[in-house]
Structure 1
Amino acid sequence: MKTFCCAAALAVVLSGCVSAPTKSLEQGSTLQGKHVVVSHYAKPDFSAMTAGKAAFGLFGAVAMINAGNDLVKSEGIEDPAIEISQRLADDMAAKRSATVLPASNKIATDDSPASLVKVYPGADVILDVKTINWMYAYYPSQWSKYHVMYVARVRLIDGKTGALVAQHLCNVDPTDPKNPPTSDALRADHAALLKESLHKAADTCVSDAEQKALRV
């Protein structure tokens, strides 16, 4: 019964996951002189998955998200997509001679390329980084120990046509499996360990996206 409830709750939590095959920037493509704009989204739901809440299945999943969002708000935890976007934009400017346009205060509500082109007009390329899932969860075999999971999609989109130029989906668990923390440890000192874990996840996403898709 416990396994079933956990699976049901996890299905709800991960319902936003997407399939995004890696597409590398074509050989010979250049970003030199291209005007790049960075997209922005509202902060996504964060899930704090505990064994107690998982026992309540779908109702527990809602409680996990509420608890996670409360933690994110109270401790000022930033969406890692912000760090990933900034670092990728900086590297595209420094290493590929792209021109990054000033940050837009427009928030995208639809991640379809056609919509993004309308929300962020005037750019040659849209750098679109979106957090698909971020959460912490207990190990099914060790309920008192937790790991952090982070999934983000990185895309370069043609700012005129909406065509997909490059794409990478990063799926990262920065937790040391040999020394996983407790829930209390993740939340202690204003969630310092959780913030550090999310920073490590962002670091991996930047590296992987640059090497596998953006050729930066």
Structure 2
Amino acid sequence: MKKLAALISLLMMTGCASVEIIKASPEKISSINGKTLTTVNYEKPDFIAFTPEKAMFGVLGVIAMVSAGNDLVKNNNIDDPAVMLTKELKNKLADRLKSKEIKEVINLSDDSTNEIKKTVEAGSLVFDVKTLGWTFNYFPTNWTHYRVIYSARARLLDPLDGKIIAQVPCTYVSDDEKTAASYDQLTANNASLLKEKLTAAAKACSTIFEQNIFAG
């Protein structure tokens, strides 16, 4: 169980690290100024509620943890932080791009350029934030306390030619072992503490995205 807990955490962090950072150059921004900006939100991804009693069952345990996590998200109306991030950044991005109009596409299942191209008006730029992983996970050396791990990717692209104009990854880890909460603390009162930590993750990633989307 220690190895499985560590593996899940590692996969969450390295998955985001594999996303290449691409910053939009001033020259590129100048060439696309004034275009409509369309924000794209994706279907809510699986949330993994990682607990030691389920981890002992290996793959079947992971399936059970995904099911439990999705139930937790649904029953407590937990928002995908990517939606918060999009709302936080879209107006700032539109101002920088001198976009006169912001449109929205919601609940897309596929983030491929071809799929986006089918749903976005021709000539519009696309800004999307996608949650790559969200979970809470106990510590390998402390099975009674949990940290929240969140990873995401923000992207600005031109679906017409499929080129990525800017791309930034972010990974957030909520606590160290000394300050981490118990399972009951995280999920009490409609998972209010879990929601707080996910909001903190969104704020931290918002800062990272805002600072790194543009090269200058």
Fold match (TM-score > 0.5): yes
In structure 1, stretches of 5+ residues that fail to align are none
Q: 1:204 to 1:12 in 2, by over 3 A?
A: closer
Q: Which amino acid aligns with 2:116?
A: L
Q: How does 1:1-216 map to 2 (within 5 A)?
A: 2-6=1-5, 19-30=18-29, 32-105=33-106, 107-175=107-175, 177-214=177-214
Counterpart CA distance in 1 for 2:183 and 2:213 is 35
The answer to whether the 8 Å contact 2:47/2:73 transfers is: yes
Q: Which amino acid aligns with 1:67?
A: A
Alignment: residue pair count: 214
Q: Which amino acid aligns with 1:80?
A: P
The answer to whether the 8 Å contact 2:149/2:172 transfers is: yes
The answer to whether the 8 Å contact 1:13/1:61 transfers is: no
The answer to whether the 8 Å contact 1:121/1:159 transfers is: no
Counterpart CA distance in 2 for 1:57 and 1:12 is 16
Residue identity over aligned pairs, in percent, reads: 34
Counterpart CA distance in 2 for 1:100 and 1:75 is 34
Counterpart CA distance in 1 for 2:120 and 2:206 is 22
Q: 1:191 to 1:100 in 2, by over 3 A?
A: farther
Counterpart CA distance in 2 for 1:70 and 1:177 is 26
Counterpart CA distance in 2 for 1:26 and 1:95 is 12
More strand by share: 2
Q: Identify the range of structure 1 (88-97 vs 180-189) with the bigger mean alpha-carbon deviation.
A: 88-97
The answer to whether the 8 Å contact 1:34/1:125 transfers is: yes
2:103 match: secondary structure = coil
The answer to whether the 8 Å contact 2:9/2:149 transfers is: no
Q: What TM-score does the superposition give when structure 2 sets the normalisation length?
A: 0.88
Q: Identify the range of structure 1 (187-196 vs 156-165) with the bigger mean alpha-carbon deviation.
A: 156-165
Counterpart CA distance in 2 for 1:211 and 1:15 is 21
Aligned-pair Cα RMSD in Å: 2.5
In structure 2, stretches of 5+ residues that fail to align are none
1:155-195, Cα deviation, whole Å (9 max, x unpaired): 10113212100001111112354311001000011111100
